[in-house]
Structure 1
Amino acid sequence: MLKVKSFCGGYDNNFSYILYDEKTREAAIIDLAIEPKILLEFIVKNNLKLKFAVIMHSHFDHLVGYDYYKQNKIPLAASEKIKKEVDLKLKDDEELAMGSSKLKVLATPGHIYDAICILVENKLFTSDTLFIDGCGRCDLPGADVKKMQESLKRIKSLTDETVIYPGHDYGRVPFATLKEQKKTNPYL
């Protein structure tokens, strides 16, 4: 069974997540927004085997500990569009195996050209593409409003039961279903 552990902090109420399979103990870090030592302490304490860490996009607050991961030979995965050096360049709709789960990559440019979301079971890790009751800003270098609209439309097409796990704790609640967000998020 897939478990999710969330960590909040970082630069601006950022979230990082550790996904892990209870049976195989395989784990993945989603969104490098929290100090790696905090995340790795949880992994060691819970006897997990880290397969990879996923960079969700290349803004500085989502690259926390990038050099640490590289120096410690922890495999990094990111969009094929990222300009940073990573071990796994991910294409849209590609799947990564972790335990008994498949993590599906959704290219979601808009907030920045190399943004991705990760869909696993009924959980969508959106980083700065979609927040609870909001979305990532599109006034920064590498952003594109039209592509953001297309990315949000793609997310909106997922099942209503999909749980949104954003990259920042900006909402009235930390997580919500897509059904709830369709009612309260003006960008969907």
Structure 2
Amino acid sequence: MKAYHVVGQAPMYTNTFLLISDAGHGVVIDPAAAASDYNEILEKEGASLTHIFCTHGHFDHVGAAEELKAKWGAKLWCEAADVENSQFFPLKEADSGYEEGEVIQVDEMSFTVWHTPGHTPGSVCLLCENYLFTGDTLFAGSIGRTDLPGGSSRQINDSLRKLAALPIPAEAQVLPGHGELSTFGQELKNNWYIKSACKGALS
């Protein structure tokens, strides 16, 4: 497997990622960059795009989804709750949503999916080996906003407690939708929002 960090367009500079299997099948997570950015890497690697995984449906995470799907015939995954054909949720349709805890296999790459609503109703996190794609649920030292349409501070606290309890390796890289990269162990130890959510569950 090869992994690429592709930064989205200004002014959001969304973190997006392209994984390519040993057999040459590509997976884009949160296609916010220009479609040409992914196409250039895929063509250089002699690979084809087969899967597009959206951690949620906000406009700054899905900008190239439909163009990439049209070019490559890739299957587009996004929760139905985040597919509205609206200003904040521009996707008109998706091929599939996610089942809680399901494992999506792409050659040697296994993606385990958990629902983590709070930033949006359809937010998910995906773990592939030691890569944890958290979208706008979890940032390095912070979390995503809950004051946008569909956001919920109660739900994101529930999602943070859920993440903290999952069998995610401490060394797993946290690959968020925005900002710096981190590790899951660092976030469990230092992220005030996770610590506060877990403490609140015990009080």
Cross-structure match for 1:37: 36
Which of 176, 185, 188 is 2:191 aligned to? 185
1:60 aligns with 2:59: yes
Pairs within 5 Å for 1:57-96? 57-72=56-71, 73-83=73-83, 84-96=92-104
Cross-structure match for 1:15: 15
Q: Secondary structure at the match of 1:187?
A: helix
Cα deviations by residue, 1:38-91 (Å, 9 ceiling, x for unpaired): 112111111122211112111110111233134333321112433241112222
**How many positions carry a matched residue from both structures?**
182
Cα deviations by residue, 1:83-125 (Å, 9 ceiling, x for unpaired): 2411122222122111212111111100000111111112110
Whichever of the two has the greater Rg, that structure is 2
Q: Kindly indicate which of the two structures has a greater share of residues assigned to strand.
A: 1
Unaligned runs of 5+ in 2: 84-91, 195-203
Q: Distance in 1 between matches of 2:141 and 2:7?
A: 18
Q: Kindly indicate which of the two structures has a greater share of residues assigned to helix.
A: 2
The AA in structure 1 aligned to 2:182 is A
The AA in structure 1 aligned to 2:79 is S
C-alpha displacement of 1:165: 0.4
Q: Secondary structure at the match of 1:88?
A: coil
Percent same amino acid at aligned positions? 29
Q: Distance in 2 between matches of 1:9 and 1:31?
A: 9
C-alpha displacement of 1:13: 2.2
Of the two structures, which has the highest relative contact order with CA contacts closer than 8 Å and spacing of 6 or more?
A: 1
Cross-structure match for 1:152: 160
Cross-structure match for 2:149: 141
The AA in structure 1 aligned to 2:174 is I
Q: Distance in 1 between matches of 2:148 and 2:119?
A: 8
Give the conservation status (yes or no) of the 8 Å contact 2:27–2:50. yes
Unaligned runs of 5+ in 1: none
Q: Distance in 2 between matches of 1:119 and 1:80?
A: 20
1:121 aligns with 2:129: yes
TM-score after normalising by structure 1: 0.89
Q: Distance in 2 between matches of 1:49 and 1:110?
A: 33
TM-score after normalising by structure 2: 0.83
